[in-house]
Amino acid sequence: MGSYRVCVCFRRSFKSGEAVVPQEIRELFIKYSEGGAHMTPDQLRRFLAEVQGEVVEEIDELDPQKVVEEVLQKRHHITKFARHNLALDDFHHYLFSPEFNPPIRSQVNQDMTAPLSHYFIYTGHNSYLTGNQLSSVCSDVPIIKALKRGVRVVELDIWPNSTKDDILVLHGRTLTPPVELIKCLRSIKDHAFVASPYPVIITLEDHLKADLQKKAAQMITQTFGDMLFCPIDENLNNIPSPEELKHRIMISTKPPQEYLNSKSVRESSKQLLKSNSKDSDEDEWRKEVTDVVNVNTQNEDDKGDSDTNQLNDDDVSSDDEYESNQESEYKRLIAIHAGKPKGSLKEALKVEEDKVRRLSLSEQALEKAAESLGTDLIRFTQKNFLRIYPKGTRVTSSNYKPMVGWMHGAQMVAFNMQGYGKNLWLMHGMFRSNGGCGYVKKPDFLMNVGPNNEVFNPKDKLQVKKTLKVKIYVGDGWSIDFDKTHFDLYSPPDFYARVGIAGVPADVTMKETKIKEDNWVPTWEEEFTFPLTVPELALLRVEVQEYDMSETDDFAGQTCLPITELKQGIRAVPLYDRKGKQYKSVRLLMRFDFI
């Protein structure tokens, strides 16, 4: 028993015990134990097949006999000579343990032999920043953290130091204290394949002159050695697969001879930091340099829309001394060529038969392109790489909605991994797919071309393809992971859950359970149904909040799970904090069925 002081007169007592076994779980135990007091491994095998939807191969891999022994060992520390069957509480413990009964697959399960451009890739933006975009310290630490999470695309902004004889990584024209390039490269080498064996791509936002580009090339070559993938085919027309590129490092940037004479850009970029640091469309903290380039080059299609062609700074150099046909060590390192579109964006999205390239667009440019060029974007991304990056006003390192990029086939939806918020939770959820390896195979409908050369149109109204039924039974673990006064000084928490879908607009929804008052172990036993038109891109969102009558509700955990990876049946769902770190004990018991 525990207690809370409600006033000076009396204390309010409550019970903070373990989760009560839901009635449905009791009934299933009785059914599959055939009315007995214990469930045998063979009976568990039948439950796994009929309720959990596990196929024979998966059940054999799990080995019900081994599962029973491990559950009993963990709960009772019994010897191998003790009983080998599960009691009701043991069965409930098994179902409620993410360790034994996770909601999604934990292994790579997709075809990894398609060209690299056929995958969504876990992509970071300004990967070296520890915090905000204006003044946070540049470091290799956030790069290491991102790689350990499974991020496969790391962005480095490279600039000359004050004496022009070395290379620094920093967010240019801001107050961010720099870090040496060599330190970042060495950390990438040491941590690139800790979480995944599949290739790491380094996107360079390059602001170097020819002599320092040569030095950068030497640093990269010496650091990575045989790990570095340098294509024989300059245009990488026959792009390798993630499987072929295992344990390889790839460089993506703009070839030197294609840089602009950007003196006018540099002059315009002297309008630098503004004092306002809000994350809004109106509060610009610096003029995007490419707005200056594009304002005089728009054709009739682009007039009045300066960011339709808006590219990232990696498409603009501060060097105007290149010869048009210069060859360099640096150029030979580039595996995926970035390029600036000439003329309208529609022209830039034309697919070239003999070339694979990367195009970068801001989140606003993508949204505007999606209005009229949706199918052009999809045709482009069937072969080429499209990278989307946050608008310049996101100075607190917030993020945008990733689904617009994904539904148009963008492989590199670049996020500020050091930030937090609901959009980053979606990114984490998407890349829990495929064993968390950082590469998720794009759905077939984004890659298919019809008999009349038609492709998927995101604006088409689609029929419901699949319906997901979700039941949320109970939650537990807060009393272990949180102080007893964390949510309320005077009483146990009042938890409610929010369950919904992130995906294409037609599928987006969010529903809530009832509030369970004064209980550390809330039992909801509520069911929700979600019709899905594009289940291949849908993510299940789950949040738990603690209701507060007088103030903002308190956050109590979240997760985001890819629908295509959900295991059917009754599953233990671990929850994560605001920054995406898994709680040690907090989890939900849920059931998933496709009807």
- Catalytic (active site) residue 125: yes
Question: Residue 109: exposed, middle, or buried by beta-carbon count in 10 A (0-12, 13-18, 19+)?
Answer: middle
The sign one gets for the Cα dihedral 245, 246, 252, 256 is negative
Instruction: Give the active site residue among 92, 118, 125, 428.
Output: 125
How crowded is residue 511: how many other Cβ atoms within 10 Å of its Cβ?
14
Nearest to 290 by CA among 365, 223, 385: 365
**H/E element holding 19?**
none
Phi, psi of 403 (to 5 degrees): -65, -30
Output Rg (C-alpha) for the chain, integer angstroms: 27
Residue with tokens 């945008």: 400
Instruction: Give the active site residue among 92, 171, 408, 428.
Output: 171
CA distance linking residue 445 with residue 108, whole number of Å: 21
Coil, helix or strand at residue 431: coil
- Catalytic (active site) residue 77: no
- What is the DSSP code string of 335-404? EEEE-PPPSSHHHHTPPPTT--EEEEEEHHHHHHHHHH-HHHHHHHHTTSEEEEE--TT-TT-----THH
Are residues 305 and 348 in contact, defined by beta-carbon separation less than 8 angstroms?
Answer: no
CA distance linking residue 141 with residue 43, whole number of Å: 49
CA distance linking residue 166 with residue 159, whole number of Å: 9
Catalytic residues: 125, 171
